[in-house]
């Protein structure tokens, strides 16, 4: 059985800095980025997409990076953006104001670890086969607009699904996330402190969706949770069982989705990848180092 980790308590307020010039401007209806005249920022990456990382460990990395960025920002020093990509061991997480009424189990005896976090949104599940992206970026150098940021994260997933798998995903008005029909493929929950982002998005690639049955995902009763693998299987079945209709194995699907997500993240946010800090071994420290742009 898992453990409950409910140490955090609201409220979670952030300070509002002075306005800086906006950088990127999107017309999502036409998938147009009109920021080509803006120098692209560097984004260092912690690429652990083949690893299963305990939630608490990844959470501590995020907080360490955020605190370093905030400290340097107060000195008017800039850091490269950061991006953590990984998979998690099975875990349920709740947002700061999430209702325990969306849990279909005893909060004191969860089936896997359970955390209440400072992000927005309701309860969700993370586990193997799900790619999680935690962008830690300073919105002062992008757009100081949370609506823009949420729509940009959705845009990353929508483009990645289209380019990698020919899956036509979309948004649903009034809801956050990425959908194919009635199925939610990607969940998004963020926290922004002094315009520095953390937490992020999770895309179900080869995820076993059974654990979602123990919760009301994102507090939405009348929608389903799907995966890339599930949709591709449906497409194959609809075409008939010919010999040439087969899926890549799970790891190949993860690798394809990972490459596409990274590519589209760089395009949507107009950044260039810098150092892979996982290769450098920096991720193993208690305070992951970041580097100046």
The residues assigned a catalytic role are 218
CA distances from 206 to 26, 150, 233, 292, 293 (A): 30, 24, 11, 36, 35
> Do the bridges between strand 81-88 and strand 41-53 make them parallel or antiparallel, or are there none, so unpaired?
parallel
List of residues 6+ apart from 30 with CB closer than 8 A: none
Q: Is 218 left (phi over 0), alpha (psi -120 to 50) or beta?
A: left
Q: Where are the beta strands (DSSP E) in 66-129?
A: 81-88, 91-94, 113-116, 124-126
Rg (CA), the chain: 19
């Amino acid at each position: 059985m898992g453990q409950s980790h409910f140490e955090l308590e609201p409220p979670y307020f952030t300070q509002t800095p002075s306005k800086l010039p906006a950088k990127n401007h999107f017309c999502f209806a036409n998938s147009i980025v009109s920021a080509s005249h803006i120098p692209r920022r560097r984004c260092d990456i912690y690429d652990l997409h083949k690893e299963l990382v305990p939630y608490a460990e990844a959470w501590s990395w995020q907080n360490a990076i955020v605190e370093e960025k905030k400290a340097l920002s107060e000195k008017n020093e800039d850091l490269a953006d950061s991006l953590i990509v990984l998979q998690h061991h099975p875990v349920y997480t709740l947002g700061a104001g999430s209702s325990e009424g969306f849990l279909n189990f005893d909060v004191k005896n969860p089936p896997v670890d359970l955390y209440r976090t400072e992000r927005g949104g309701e309860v969700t599940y993370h586990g193997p086969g799900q790619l999680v992206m935690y962008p830690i970026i300073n919105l002062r150098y992008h757009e100081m607009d949370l609506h823009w940021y949420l729509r940009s994260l959705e845009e990353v997933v929508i483009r990645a699904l289209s380019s990698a798998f020919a899956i036509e995903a979309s948004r649903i008005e009034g809801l956050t996330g990425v959908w194919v029909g009635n199925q939610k493929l990607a969940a998004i929950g963020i926290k922004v402190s002094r315009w520095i982002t953390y937490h992020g998005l999770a895309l179900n690639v080869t995820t076993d969706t059974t654990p979602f049955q123990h919760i009301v995902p994102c507090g939405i009763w009348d929608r389903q949770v799907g995966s890339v693998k599930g949709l591709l299987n449906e497409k194959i079945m609809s075409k008939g069982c010919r010999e040439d209709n087969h899926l890549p194995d799970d790891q190949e699907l993860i690798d394809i989705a990972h490459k596409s997500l990274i590519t589209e993240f760089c395009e949507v946010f107009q950044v260039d990848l810098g150092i892979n800090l996982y290769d450098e071994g920096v991720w193993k420290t208690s305070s992951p180092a970041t580097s100046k742009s």
